[in-house]
Structure 1
Amino acid sequence: MPLFVAALSGPRLRRRLSLLLVLGASLTLSVVLITFRVLLTKQLLFVFLLWNLFLALIPFGLSSMLGLAAVQLRARVLVPAGAVWLLFFPNAPYILTDLFHLEPRPGVPYWYDLALILSCAWNGLMLAYASLLDMQALVARRLGVGAGWGFAAGALLLSAFGIYLGRFLRFNSWDVLTNPFTLFYDILQRLINPTAHPRTWGVTLLFGAFLILGYATVRLLGRAGEEPGE
């Protein structure tokens, strides 16, 4: 039996399939809500959320593949692969900030747009947490539980910083390749002179705290459900 098949045998395989089923159903709901709105209004206003959901799927897909192949991969492959994952990871929780687009609009009830954007934001957050769970387990297996939690907290803080870069400075993940000098200059300016950029660190710390507490809550809820008698 291949190693990646053995790694997901038994209860772990069932949990993974259940997760994929629930995430798939939740993503389908978001797609249906967006599609129905387009058909109702003949406007493409929220179609960009489909692209954002696709970007949110990238880190989840990468972490899933790394988790399956982790036994067979060496550190010199895992480290750059993990760096690519970290580069795309902020795209998942970034969808939370699409709530900025919520406002009353004619032709569609306000509550419908609220449900639509919340559905997409929820999916982005859950894809982020599911992906981070895979990566934390990968780090913990190689470096220990403490290192795994340190990695998770660091990734979420960096993700919050990435949310700031994307929402307020309008950078994308691929700007590392297409516009690296401007990106690195703007980051360096905020590191060298943090007091001149209070919004940068306000957004980073506030969203970072929110993401870390949310992730810890999800982890604890998952463990509570695994206790005997549940």
Structure 2
Amino acid sequence: MKELNYTKVFVLLAGLSLATLGVYRVVSLRTDTYFDFLLWNLFLAWIPFLFSSAAYVLDKQRFSSMLLLPLGIAWLLFFPNAPYLMTDLLHLTARKSIYIVSGEVQSRFWYDLVTLLLFTWSGWLTGFFSLYQFQSVISRKSNLFFSWIFVLAACALGGYGVLLGRVYRLNSWDVLTDRHQLIQLVNDSLNRQSLFFSLFVAVVLLVIYATLYFLLNGLVSSGGRGYSRGGRK
């Protein structure tokens, strides 16, 4: 794996988020503040990146691997918040009556659509870079093969997390604060339709992440630092 400059990555992601907020500010002044909840959802999408950044720095400084375990668990709990942003497109259907008037599509539909797509892109990119960070850590600790096993597991859990969040309205922190509800929702979600939905989202996550991965590793200069099997080179 290519080692990225995560200071530049952070600046890129922060700039993208600020641009997204700026677009929303302009659109909300022209229309309304219905989509204010996107601000909170984008904040939640940043949390896994903060956890992965902490794990990445600790591993680079060769701290004990035991410190990485709680960060990894916390990351897994919050990672689905990034792909979850895609499901906020659902709200466009709830406002159909103000988007289509007398058979004509109003301009505010396009404003809201672009805003939602920007929030989705910003959240997904932040989440995928956090996944790349953790894959880098695992690749250093073991090898590239096991790092991809981790990616597959993360995408699967991410797909299931999106299901629990959108369909069953479970929050990441409910796993810690309301275990009885979590067990009940898990039992309720064990059906064929939920399994298909989770796998569908997982495959989408994997396809997009793999695209990002191979773009990063194919476009970064070959003279940069990389990781060998089981260690640094």
Short-chain TM bin: 0.7 to 0.9
Q: Does 1:68 align with 2:62?
A: no
1:215 maps to: 209
1:4 maps to: none
Q: 1:57 aligns with which of 37, 46, 59?
A: 46
2:76–2:154 Cα contact (<8 Å) kept? yes
Kindly state the Cα deviation for residue 199 of structure 1 after the two structures are TM-superposed. 2.4
> Relative contact order, CA 8 A, sep 6+: which one is greater?
2
2:52–2:71 Cα contact (<8 Å) kept? no
Kindly state the Cα deviation for residue 17 of structure 1 after the two structures are TM-superposed. 3.0
Structure-2-length-normalised TM-score: 0.84
RMSD: 2.1
1:28-43 counterparts in 2 under 5 A? 28-41=18-31, 43=32
Kindly state the Cα deviation for residue 81 of structure 1 after the two structures are TM-superposed. 1.7
The letter for the 1-side match of 2:212 is V
Q: What is the number of residues matched between the two proteins? A: 212
Structure 2: gaps spanning 5 or more residues: 100-105, 224-233
CA distance in 2, matches of 1:176, 1:17: 32
**% identical aligned pairs:** 34
1:142 maps to: 141
CA distance in 2, matches of 1:79, 1:101: 36
Kindly state the Cα deviation for residue 144 of structure 1 after the two structures are TM-superposed. 1.3
CA distance in 2, matches of 1:132, 1:149: 11
CA distance in 2, matches of 1:94, 1:170: 11
Structure 1: gaps spanning 5 or more residues: 1-10
1:90 maps to: 80
Q: 2:194 aligns with which of 190, 200, 204?
A: 200
2:49–2:130 Cα contact (<8 Å) kept? yes
CA distance in 2, matches of 1:73, 1:189: 41
1:183-203 alpha-carbon deviations (Å, 9 max, x no partner): 12221454xxx4xx2221121
1:172 maps to: 171
CA distance in 2, matches of 1:44, 1:189: 34
Kindly state the Cα deviation for residue 225 of structure 1 after the two structures are TM-superposed. 1.1
1:109 maps to: 108
Q: Does 1:48 align with 2:37?
A: yes
